[in-house]
Structure 1
Amino acid sequence: MTPLKSYIVSKGYLILALVAVMSVMVIGFAVIKSDRERYTASVRHNVEMALDRATDQIRYQFFESVLISNKIESLLENSREIPEAQIARVVDELIQHNPSVVTVALAPNLEVTHSFPQNANQGTVGLKYFEVPAQMSSVARAYRWRSPVVVGPVQLVQGGEGFILRYPVQIRRDDADTPRFWGIISIVVKSDQLFGAYGSDNMDYEFGLRELHSSSRPYRSMFGDPDLFEGDPVIREITMLGSTWQATAKPKEGWPAYSPQSPVIMLLTLISAVLLLAILMVLRRLSTRIEKANALLAETIECIDEGFIAFDEKDRLVTVNERYLSYYPKIADAAVPGVTFEELIRIDAARNNYPEAIGREEEWIQDRLAAHYNPGAPFFQKSDQDRWFKVVEAKSPRGYTVGIRTDVTAVKRAQELAERADREKTEFLNNVSHELRTPLTVISGRVAFLQNPNLLAQAKTLQAALSADELSREDVISAVAEYQDQVSKQGASALSAAQHMLRLVEDLLDWTKVESGRLELDLAPVEVGTIASSIVSDLRPAAEAKGLRLSYFSDCDATIMADQTRLKQILYNLTSNAIKFTQTGGISLVVTHDDDEIVFTVKDTGCGIRQEDFSRIFKRFQQVDGSMTRQMNGLGLGLAIADQLAKLHGGALSLTSTVGEGSAFRLVLPKPAVSAHWPSYPRLKAV
């Protein structure tokens, strides 16, 4: 992975981690908010229920007070005097059911004459409402409306605050057509007990009460803190005996900011965020390890000196290295992950990547697929680029197929060279055997006659001449001469064969020195004309024996630094080869020069040499005809030795030829700048 890609991936993981953690936190806060709303709704519902019960309690208290007042009114209507005992019992029952009731006062003609319970409320007896304006307004309203009214909170004579139910008493007498206003029954309820048990200190709620006015006048607070009506309170309206009240309630601790589960949820959210972050870190670490492992594997695959390719269990390409693609450039564009092996080899075959598949593509594809699906021993494969590859394929336990391609072109070339060298060695040994056997046969045959001269016809003629009864001197001399001539011919033939063998051995020894680098040159000033003319003189008889012309031409009389023997050997080989391979025409040895070089050209009118044979004509053991049935003798070392000797002299040997017209070998040697009078130099040796 490149540094830029690694940086981008790292930042991507960081952003992913932040997004994941923030998402968890947002979800956590959403859950907390939802739980708080649910809890707040539950608390509000409880407050609503408590307020409903409390308002019901208020209605019940005043409704019961109205019923008691009505009952007292009935008692008063049925008695000329105030039935104190009966009223006291009724009031006691009321107080037992409604402990918030403090006083029940009777005020005939608006003057309090009786107050129940009598022992606790004697201080109110004698109170005249018309003398107390604060209380007279409510009494007057009850009188005008002819129905009960509730006022409050007011300061009570008994102390504290309370609400007062004013009940106008109308008594119908027997002799009257219409009821007559008797007075007022006042029932006092203490403010702090207005909400009953729901307003006690041990409850979880605070209650408030205010009176609504039909006019534009502001609300009048009747109970509790007026601020309870601010915000989003729970409010209930109560129509109470001609007045409209609003009751409210809220928890004493205020509306909850969060639910009791919020800390737990927050803790779980934090734990979840930490766990998620830890999981992401672990995943990142695992991902990094996997990336490093994959990078190591990819780099290792790229570093190996073989082509590597891998397919998954469905035979789809997974990975391939650059070395493999360099081996098979024709499918480099198609070797992408996901392509199947069959698709690849079909592309291979279609693009003629394998010479062996040309003309039999489908058969070759099926054979290759069979070898791929059931890998066996390694095999060799030749590409269209004249390269050889060793193919090794194997199946993994999970069904993956791994292929290795090793370039064995050099090994194949070496094998071919070794096989060719072996063939050359065999041919050379055969040629040496043939070349040595021929002169040895000649020598053996000639020496056999010399060992047993009696086998010669001339020896028998001489023996007959010497054994004749009449010995003739002329016959003896003639027989002796014939015998001597025959012996001389036999010896000459044996000598020629021995010299031929000697040249073969010398060629072998010279080549051995060339191969081992031990051939030494004795450099000295040499006149090129003398060397060239001597070669022509020595070989002219051989040329003339074949009816060939051997001519010499030189345009200079130069002197060069050379090994005279080796230079002569080069020219001798070139000229003798020309004579050997020329049947008609002639051979010429031409010496030319320029400022820096001396050029020896041996030209013949022989059979010529094909252009494709030029590269091997100067190699060892090579002749254009390398078979045992060659027309010309020789080991094929002459030109190879001549080429190496030319290079040791700092020169070069080249060839031009036309088949059927002849050949021209050109030896170029450097000519050092020297004076006309060559000084005396010591013997030089070059290796």
Structure 2
Amino acid sequence: MSLKFRILLVEDNVDHAELTELALKQNIKGIEIDKTFTADETIAKISNSPDNNYDLMILDYSLPGKDGLAVLDSICQKKLSLPVIIVTGQGNERVAVQAMKKGAFDYIVKSPGYLMTLPVTVKKALAEKHLENKLERTEQYYQNLVECANDGIYSLDVQGRITFVNRKVEQLTGFTRRELIGRYFKDLLVEEERVKIKRWIKQVRRKHLLENLETRVLTKDGRQIPVEINLAARNNGDVISGYYGVARDISMRLQWEAERRQRNEEIRRMNEELVSKNRELERLNQIKSQFVSNVSHELRTPLNGILGYAELLRDGLYGQVNEEQVKALQNVIACGHHLLDLINEILDFSKIQDGRMRLEREVCSVYDILEAVIATVKPTIREKNLNLILSVENKLPVINVDPRKIYQVFLNIIGNSIKFTEKGEIEIGAQKHDNEILFFVRDTGIGMKEEDVNKIFGEFLQLDGSISRKYGGTGLGLSLAKHFVEMHNGKIWVKSKWREGSTFYVSLPYEKDANIESSNITNKRKGKTVTAPGFFGI
């Protein structure tokens, strides 16, 4: 054997003791043998060894003073787990029977060849002792697991009385283990649950299966604790010999479930409120859009009439007017057109918000659109004494767009640059780039701060109150431009530095096989024709 075992050899004959030790060590490897020679010495030795660190005792019955049976009695009294092999002389079989009744593992008669059979018996006893120790360790291991478990573990007899509980059951109920053992399990539950428990145990008895149940435990101090318990039958053959189960405190779980239900109910209620408010907002938005549309149409009709009569007066249709009167009428007409532009912006924005804005595409010349925009803004540029620089590439392809929308895009961008540029220049450029035509409008105006660049395309937005009071406007121009560009699957962005100016970029797709047109735009500087400065780069 490779295991280490300690044997206590009790033999009053020194020669016999040495022969026995020799026979054992020759046949069994790794054993240690201690020897005693009297009953009193033996009893004292095992009494002074509280850990009982012997694995086996070989006990000669015939000892001086007290015999071997007295040693066996002492072992039984001390409840030592120590296997004993009793050795008797011939004719003492009756003594051997008494020794077996007192708990001896086996006996051997001192016959001429007994030292040959003794090692075999010793090996058998040591093997059983090893298995017994292993079983004890395993039982202790699982007992520790049960004691350390976070759930209560219990066992019942067939009548439903408690036969075992772990530490968690004590903590859960407030009763000690001594108080719980022998009590009926149902008595630990609240009274109104006991009928249900009886039915539950009957169901377990009938099915012999594990069953779960939620109930409430009544603690020693009168509290009710919600628990989830299960129960399984313990069978002895076909007969139920008892039950065992687990009890788990579900107070926190029920609290979490209640909180979750409450949160879900709050979320449901908030969703209902949100849906209701969204519907109300949609209704109000429709009313607002309809109101804006109606007001815009109602304002445009008389405004067009005012502009028409003002132009007729200016042109002398109702009589000759002097130079001062012409200037006054011209101011009226300019203000009227400005007001008409504002109304149109609000009307366009309302259509976009309602999803009523549609594109009316047609094949257009880039140059025609830019010429129309330049013709519109030229008087304002001349009035502010700004330089206009054109950097438009020759032979640009035609584009399939809604010309009114794209005209409005560049009119809003260039108009914005003119508005915020007191001196310097406005540069307009365009060139072919991959499958796009890339436009830019650069100015030397007041520019924007870095934190304002990403806000510039917002609706009804002007970045500074003092600026909006000085320059006016609805704050919709660039927002409309962004919407129109994106409706054409294009992109719009801006780069700017505060007090240095801004550059707006617009990219619009075109078909690769589109027709190519040569530029017919002349470059203007303060109303005079100049040479184009070339292409631009990003």
Band of TM-score, shorter chain:
0.3 to 0.5
Q: TM-score, normalised on structure 1?
A: 0.35
> Larger Cα Rg: Structure 1 or Structure 2?
1
Q: TM-score, normalised on structure 2?
A: 0.44
